[in-house]
Amino acid sequence: TWALTRHPVSLTLPALLRELRSERAQARSQALHTLSKTGDRQVWPAITRELLTDADDEVARSAWRAAVVLVPEGQEPALATVLATQ
């Protein structure tokens, strides 16, 4: 994660977004963790309900951690509604 955050987002973001669709839970979780560290809110649409409710607890946890950092202003209530279902 640390090394990836040291590179331009234009280089790392496409690969991280691809990993969110990986069949491997660890890849999805790590990509979410790294995205949360970039703080780049343009990735918000990629933090889907599917990821927030992933069957793998680590993925869901990483998605929530990323979501609370990246949620756009004004969308916090909608995020809280999803959280309440977990």
Check which CATH number belongs to the domain holding 35 and give it: 1.25.10.10
Quote the CA–CA distance of 2 and 77 in Å, as a whole number.
31
Average pLDDT for runs of 10 along the chain of length 86: 63 90 97 91 95 97 96 95 89
Whole-number pLDDT of residue 38: 86
Quote the CA–CA distance of 68 and 33 in Å, as a whole number.
12
Number of domains in the chain: 1
Contacts (Cβ under 8 Å, ≥6 apart) of 60: 51, 52, 53, 54, 86
**Enclosing domain of residue 39:** 2-84
Whole-number pLDDT of residue 1: 58
* Burial classification of residue 63, based on how many CB atoms lie within 10 Å of its CB (0-12 exposed, 13-18 middle, 19 or more buried): buried
Whole-number pLDDT of residue 10: 67
Whole-number pLDDT of residue 40: 87
What's the token pair of residue 49? 């309900």
* Burial classification of residue 39, based on how many CB atoms lie within 10 Å of its CB (0-12 exposed, 13-18 middle, 19 or more buried): exposed
Q: How far apart are the first and last CA of the chain?
A: 27
Whole-number pLDDT of residue 55: 96
